[in-house]
Structure 1
Amino acid sequence: MNLFQLRAFDAVARERSFTRAADRLFISQPAVTGHVKALEEHYQVNLFRRTARGVELTEDGVRLSAISRTLFALEEEAEAMLDASRELVTGRIEVAADGPHLVMPMLARLRARYPGITVNLRLGNAQETLAALMDEHVDIAVLTEVEPRAGLFLRELVESRICALVPASHAWSGHAGELPLGELDQQIMVLREPDSITRRTFDAACSTASVEPRVLLELDSREAVTEAVAAELGIGIVSSLEVSPDPRVKAIPLSGDGLLNRHAIGCLERRRGLRVVSAFLELAEG
């Protein structure tokens, strides 16, 4: 079926006039007449009766009009939905992050600017977050210590410093300024799992400085490390971005080489032009 012909028929059926139908479609009146005539001839039906009062639908025309009106109403609904998404009145974005501290303020800014956008947030470790982005399970990701690669767009955000986390009762809790990394040699520590970016950065810095902490516990979350430190099971480590107010513990920045982490926001290069992705990137730095 020729949709141009059907659209011309639908316009005439709605307007009850070939002239007004032409104005509705922004084409000439002879073009409308030609499309309707071609439709009638192809299917060997009469769809309109021309009367002194104008144009009336035949019985076949009435039945076809009910179908065409539904068809083009759905098209108009689809166009309205897509226009709304383009203008970010509505829409959805899938986001991944390897920690909540950087991404939550971004989501708050997105919510304030575009309240109709729905967000699905995945939190995981650095490897899981990067894999979700590269496998196209998410549109955008907040990443730590990710190396540039083909097809990946990255924008640097901030740097964070590794901190020692000690109980409030510890002798170092009143320490002012940075604590030398060497002070952790032979100290009993409770640390994240080896795949944690914070742990990997800390281990590499210790290896370079010949510092050998005594690891008592390996834990799978920042919250568990905080609880273990608060229970005075050992000294923990935490990123400066992840320090939360907790009177039971004190975070002390460590001094030494290799104790910084770089944080970035990224998306697949070919999806960077999507309106919702570009809007998120614009809001990422506040």
Structure 2
Amino acid sequence: MNLFQLRAFDAVVREGSFTRAAERLCISQPAVTGHVKALEEHYQVQLLRRTARQVEPTELGRCLAAISHQLFALADRAEDLLDSSQALTSGRLDLAADSPHLVMPLLARMRERYPGVRINLRLGNTQETLTALHGERVDLALVSDIAPRAGLHLLPLGEARLCLLLPAAHPWIGSREDVALHELRGEVLLQREPGSLTRRTFERACASQELELPADLELNSREAVIEAVAAGIGVSVIYGQEAPKDPRVKVLPLKGEGLVSRHFLACQQRHAELRVVKAFFEVAGDVGYPSP
């Protein structure tokens, strides 16, 4: 088997794109395409299904990727072992995160301590971040409310609590110190998409109080929610650390149980001893996060 061809296939599956795979491997996109095509033609199989928007592995491709991910993870560990006596002056780290506000201090500290390490950051909602982690498309992930499971290495980073985001002119501003969930009846409620941790935490808290507070408008990003609230369309929920410094909006604490989420840095257990991954965990351990 040609390992250059297999490495190209593995990179395409991890990245979901021939272009991003080429960037990952520091070779041209036609070279990646050629390697994968040669691998498929040699074994007379189809490993990837190409669509207009993305590249996905076939069933055989998924089975092969499960092996190739482990194979090249071991190769990375071998290279890491051989380089262990040297300073961490180069390398690449693929990171996913569901909260830019939590991950940016880590990136700043990592860049300060190891400026030669190239970091590729993927931002998405919690479900997208978990998918990248479990699919081994990234080396590690900063993700919220992840359940411990065999094969995962987790580092708790702290907690965050939901609060209410309102237009600055809302009558509750200046007249209330906090708001109970049931008081949101009658308000136009703006919500994130279902895969968002904010949405899931809020709905879980409502369910614990047997409340039904459906979304009047669904928006697929934190920035869109903030702009909609600033425009006076309605109110929403947001984690306290993510509240913007924007005079157009204000926040009030929410009363009730189940409004707190825990944040973790996570990686596959077999990647935990890779030097660059271990270095990032050490940096994360040095950065303090406030409690809600």
Distance in 1 (alpha carbons) for counterparts of 2:230 and 2:149: 40
| Aligned residues of 2:98 and 2:142 also touching (Cα < 8 A) | yes
Give the superposition deviation at 1:203.
1.0
**Does the Cα contact within 8 Å between 2:84 and 2:275 map onto a contact in 1?**
no
Tell me the residue number matched to 1:179.
Answer: 179
Deviation at 1:187, TM superposition (A): 2.0
RMSD in angstroms over aligned alpha carbons?
A: 1.8
1:212 Cα shift?
3.3
The CA distance in 1 between the partners of 2:149 and 2:98, in whole Å, is 19
**Distance change >3 Å, CA 208–CA 185, structure 1 → 2:** farther
Superposed, 1:147-226 pairs within 5 Å as 147-175=147-175, 177-213=177-213, 215-226=215-226
Correspondence list, 1:254-269, <5 A: 254-269=254-269
Per-residue CA deviations over 1:117-153 (Å, capped at 9, x if unaligned) read 1100001111111111122111110001111111011
Output the TM-score relative to the length of structure 1.
Answer: 0.68
Give the AA of the match of 1:237: V
- Aligned residue type for 2:104: M
CA 1:134 to 1:86, structure 2 compared with 1: closer, same or farther past 3 Å? Answer: farther
Residue 49 of structure 1 aligns with which residue? none
2:143 paired with 1:131? no
Which string of whole-angstrom CA distances, capped at 9 and with x for unpartnered residues, describes residues 67-112 of structure 1?
Answer: xxxxxxxxxxxx9xx6499521111111100121111000000011
Partner secondary structure for residue 166 of structure 1: strand
CA deviation after TM superposition for structure 1 residue 209, in Å: 1.5
Distance in 2 (CA, whole Å) between partners of 1:234 and 1:85 is: 57
Q: Which moved more, 1:110-119 or 1:167-176?
A: 167-176
Structure 1 gap ranges (5+)? 1-78
2:267 & 2:219 partners in 1: Cα distance?
30
Mapped partners of 2:168, 2:282: distance in 1 = 40
> TM-score, length-normalised on structure 2?
0.67
Paired letter, 1:248: R
Which digits, 9 at most, give the CA deviation of each residue in 1:227-276, with x for residues without a partner? Answer: 11111111111111211101100111211011111110001111101111
The residue type paired with residue 161 of structure 1 is R
> Take 2:284 and 2:178, find their aligned partners in 1: how far apart are those partners?
29
Matched, 1:249 2:238: no
Identical aligned pairs, as a percentage?
Answer: 52
Q: Distance in 1 between matches of 2:85 and 2:93?
A: 11
Instruction: Name the residue aligned to 2:227.
Output: 227
Contact map agreement 1:144 1:197 (CA 8 A) in 2 = yes
**1:185 shift after superposition:** 2.4
Structure number with bigger Rg: 1
Give distance in 2, aligned partners of 1:192 and 1:157. Answer: 23
Aligned position for 1:31: none
Q: Please tell me whether the aligned partners of residues 94 and 121 of structure 1 are also in contact (alpha carbons under 8 angstroms).
A: yes
1:100 maps to 2:100:
yes
Q: Which amino acid aligns with 1:133?
A: L
Change (3 A) 1:97 1:175: farther
Structure 2 portions without partners, runs of 5+: 1-78, 288-292
What corresponds to 1:9 in structure 2?
none
Q: Kindly provide the amino acid, as one letter, of the partner of residue 146 in structure 2.
A: V
AA paired with 1:140?
L
Partner Cα distance (1:251, 1:218) in 2:
20
Q: Matches of 2:232 and 2:278 in 1, distance apart?
A: 46
